[in-house]
């Protein structure tokens, strides 16, 4: 049976990048609350309309909305599926709710300094269709402005501007950082240095998962 993994780390630490690699290479299902919310905004769904204002300002979407969304997703998983939770939980209340639904085997924390995070986020370009991410200098798409994977035009997320990035980092420190202690106390926390080449970080991530 494959593991249930929580990816922790500040905005821009590489949760999406490493989670996607794990999903492609090791067959994990990656559940990203950020991707789900952006999809709901794009489709004009009720959840998206409720969430947009919070997301645009860098605040967290209220716990009850997120917990209901995740419970619904978890209920559709086949038993024994390996799952990566990317961007969830983000508060102790969300972590408690997740723990009531499913047993988490590993909390993998990507550690990256703030100055690097700002540069990563403001130069990130994202694919609205397949959610692949690129970076204007560290991870350029083969053709400028076009997703390597599905050929869709890339865009810059509304919350990847300087001001909102600073707020997201504040919100992370206040609400999500306590989860490091939370999972350490449960004895399942592994911290990986998240700065350096993406493939080298992925090798360390795989080692932690195995």
Q: Distance from CA of residue 114 to its chain's centroid? A: 17
Residue ranges in 40-99 that form contacts with ligand AP5 under rule CB under 6 A: 54-55, 58-61, 66, 87-88, 90, 94
Residue from 6, 37, 147, 205 that binds ligand AP5 (CB under 6 A)?
A: 37
* Tokens of residue 205, six digits: 């991530």
The residue range among 15-23, 74-82, 144-152, 177-185 that interacts with ligand AP5, by the rule CB under 6 A, is: 15-23
CA dihedral (83, 85, 91, 94) in degrees, to 10, reads -40
Tell me how far CA of residue 102 lies from CA of 56, 95, 96, 146, in angstroms: 30, 10, 10, 38
Tell me, yes or no, if 185 is annotated catalytic: no
Catalytic residue among 15, 21, 120, 125: 15
**Does 23 help bind ligand AP5 (rule: CB under 6 A)?**
no
Tell me how far CA of residue 79 lies from CA of 29, 48, 153, in angstroms: 12, 29, 36
Query: CA 174, CA 157: separation in Å to the nearest integer?
Result: 23
Residue count, binding to ligand AP5 (CB under 6 A): 35
Residue 16 CB, nearest approach to ligand AP5 (Å) = 3
The residue range among 76-84, 131-139, 140-148, 177-185 that interacts with ligand AP5, by the rule CB under 6 A, is: 131-139
Give the residue numbers marked as catalytic.
Answer: 15, 90, 124, 157, 168
């Amino acid at each position: 049976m494959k593991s249930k993994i929580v990816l922790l780390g500040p905005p821009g630490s590489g949760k999406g990048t490493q989670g996607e690699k794990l999903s492609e290479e090791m067959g994990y299902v990656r559940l990203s609350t950020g991707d789900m919310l952006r999809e709901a905004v794009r489709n004009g769904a009720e959840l998206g309309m409720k969430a947009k204002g919070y997301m645009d300002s860098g605040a967290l979407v209220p716990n009850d909305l997120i917990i209901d969304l995740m419970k619904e997703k978890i209920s559709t998983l086949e038993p024994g599926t390996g799952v990566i939770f990317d961007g969830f939980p983000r508060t102790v209340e969300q972590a408690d709710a997740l723990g009531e639904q499913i047993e988490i085997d590993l909390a993998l924390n990507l550690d990256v300094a703030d100055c690097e995070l700002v540069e990563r986020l403001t130069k990130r370009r994202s694919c609205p269709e397949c959610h692949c991410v690129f970076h204007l200098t560290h991870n350029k798409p083969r053709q400028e402005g076009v997703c390597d994977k599905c050929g869709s035009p890339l865009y810059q997320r509304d919350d990847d501007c300087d001001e909102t990035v600073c707020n997201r980092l504040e919100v992370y420190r206040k609400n999500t950082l306590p989860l490091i202690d939370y999972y350490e106390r449960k004895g399942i926390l592994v911290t990986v240095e998240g700065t350096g080449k993406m493939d080298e970080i992925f090798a360390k991530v795989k080692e932690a998962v195995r």
